[in-house]
Chain A
Amino acid sequence: MNKPQYQLELQDIQLSFGGLMALHEVSTGVKKGEIFSIIGPNGAGKTCLLNCINRFYHPEKGTILFENRDISHMQPHKIAGMGIARTFQNVELFAHMTVLDNIKLGAHVHLKSGFLSGGIYYGRSRAEEIALRKDIEERIIDLLEIEQIRKQVVHALPYGLQKRVELARALAMRPRVLLLDEPATGMNLEETEDMARFILDINEEWDITIILIEHDMGVVMDISDRICVLDFGEKIAEGKPEEIRHDEKVIKAYLGEEDITYSRLGA
């Protein structure tokens, strides 16, 4: 069998906190351009997995390959420069800055100029870089429909909008892979639908690979290309939404009772 070409590949990731095994030899891979969802009951290790990719956590075992480069021992702040951006389960915005400043900070990683760059003219290439950034900022603001709040301070915004701003900030990093940790949590139906649409747009128009953690099964089943299911730190299934929906192990893990789970998984 031919080994599929992964953009991001996790091999035998093992992570524990004291005696608690958070991830047990999890191996999986994400192909370029797909929407890859990670689901599982609470405490299954989904966010832990993202934190490993992000290097916030250091797995005791295992390798993480991104575009054929081993990033398992990279410093956490260098991950952004590799082209991996993320959002957080509980919104982690710079609360006292405006929406636009938050988005601008996302582009921080692309500013290579030195220590004191404020207001000094750096010649043509820099001017171009600034123009490009402005263009991208505008496109992001358009795409996510946050035009009217761009000058507002973030902490005063409603939760749903904050989540959108966080997504905008991650996009400003011009990532090739975007890790989304429960982007639709705490949203009403309409907001959830918007978010699903945004994710699809980002994936198709911007050509960004998406790794998604989400509890809303409707969204997950609708937009995912492939799904990986974790339970108690172990991978119990991986495949297309159709396969996952009918996977016995998955159904068991979710509630242990077939009927209820069927309805919950939307089958």
Chain B
Amino acid sequence: MEILLQVIVTGLATGGLYGLIALGFVLIYKATSVLNLAMGEFMTLGAFVCFTVLTQIKAPFYLALILTLVAAILLGFIVERLILRPLIGEPIISAIMVTIGLGVILKGLIYMVWTPTFRNFPEIFPPKPLNLGFAVVPSGLWWGFFFAIIGMLIFLLIFKFSRTGVAMRAVASDQQAALSMGISVRWVFALAWCFGAMASVIGGIVIGNISGISVYMGDIGLKVLAVIILGGLDSIGGAILGGFIIGILENLTGLYIDPLIGGGAKNVAPFFMLVFILMIRPYGLFGKKIIERV
């Protein structure tokens, strides 16, 4: 029992992180209908930028975080302006393909600049684990969860209540109408990319802090794909809930199935879920039913 609770708590904490990155996916998808498959590389880039600021400039963490977020905003703007905007009006599938290419290019650049060495993140959170009584959460995971929840709350509040959020929802619903109401669709697209990039770099920093950083950490983006398919591509609540479900599922599989088959099931579980959900409920838990899957 003890161990089950422990695994569930760990799963929840991991799930929070997945939820945050998934939120980045969903914000971009909702506003622009593009699935950004370079999300994992955004994450990696964020982690490396933060790492470099911390180790080279020896800046305090809060400064590194701010600088990384600024870098994310720049990344979002540049990618939207240079790569996605020229594709407005082309079939959506082209834009999605382009993000795959972008991911590969980013990965290559990271490889060139930072080399493929695996690195440990400098200690940014107090190392004391959080003791809940029935379970213990390691420091990195607990702080990561904290950041993920704060990040999600901020994005949710912006989306639900601010003027910008209203504009984003309007664009997501009907671009022509939004344009005729005086909402700049291009600006909303750019903002969506910035928000998406910001969510993913926060995820990158936290995950880097937990398990170290390397050029391959972006592969986690693929796992988050399972999260958003489960939650329903265009649902913010679904992304967050999906994150928790996948997080717990993954850790439970690690606990119960891995010993039976000699390990490895933990990493595949999210993708089993992905295939399963696509078979029984292709629009996800909360997605709009009109989303087509080709």
A115 located at the interface, meaning its Cβ lies under 8 Å from any Cβ of chain B in the complex: yes
B161 located at the interface, meaning its Cβ lies under 8 Å from any Cβ of chain A in the complex: yes
B169 located at the interface, meaning its Cβ lies under 8 Å from any Cβ of chain A in the complex: yes
Say which one of B132-140, B182-190, B209-217, B238-246 lies at the interface with A: B182-190
B128 located at the interface, meaning its Cβ lies under 8 Å from any Cβ of chain A in the complex: no
**Which residues from A are CB-within-8-Å of B94?**
none
**Which residues from B are CB-within-8-Å of A119?**
161
C-alpha gap A88/B180 in the complex (Å)? 10
Proximity bits, A168-196, B CB within 8 Å = 1, else 0: 01100100000000000000000000000
- Across the interface, name the chain B residue whose C-beta is closest to A80: B182
Candidates B162, B170, B179; contact of A105 at CB < 8 Å:
B170
Is B177 in contact with A93, judged by CB distance below 8 angstroms? yes
**Which residues from B are CB-within-8-Å of A116?**
158, 162-164
Proximity bits, A100-129, B CB within 8 Å = 1, else 0: 000001101101011111110000000000
C-alpha gap A204/B263 in the complex (Å)? 77
Proximity bits, B137-180, A CB within 8 Å = 1, else 0: 00000000000000000000110111111110110011011011
C-alpha gap A116/B170 in the complex (Å)? 16
A48 located at the interface, meaning its Cβ lies under 8 Å from any Cβ of chain B in the complex: no
Q: Is the interface of B mostly helix, strand, loop or mixed?
A: helix
A255 located at the interface, meaning its Cβ lies under 8 Å from any Cβ of chain B in the complex: no
Is A117 in contact with B162, judged by CB distance below 8 angstroms? yes
A153 to chain B minimum Cβ distance, whole angstroms, is: 12
Contact flag A173-B174 (CB < 8 Å), given A108-B163, A117-B163: no
A183 to chain B minimum Cβ distance, whole angstroms, is: 15
- Across the interface, name the chain B residue whose C-beta is closest to A118: B161
Q: List 25 A-B contacts (CB under 8 A).
A: A56-B176, A56-B179, A76-B179, A76-B180, A78-B182, A79-B182, A86-B180, A88-B176, A93-B177, A94-B170, A94-B177, A95-B173, A95-B174, A96-B173, A106-B181, A108-B181, A109-B181, A111-B163, A115-B162, A116-B158, A116-B162, A118-B157, A118-B165, A119-B161, A170-B180
> Could you tell me which A residues sit within 8 Å of B by CB distance?
54, 56, 75-81, 85-86, 88, 92-97, 105-106, 108-109, 111, 113-119, 169-170, 173
> Could you tell me which B residues sit within 8 Å of A by CB distance?
157-158, 160-167, 169-170, 173-174, 176-177, 179-185
Please give 6 more A-B residue pairs, beta carbons under 8 A apart, in addition to A88-B176, A108-B167, A118-B161: A81-B182, A92-B174, A105-B181, A111-B163, A114-B163, A118-B157
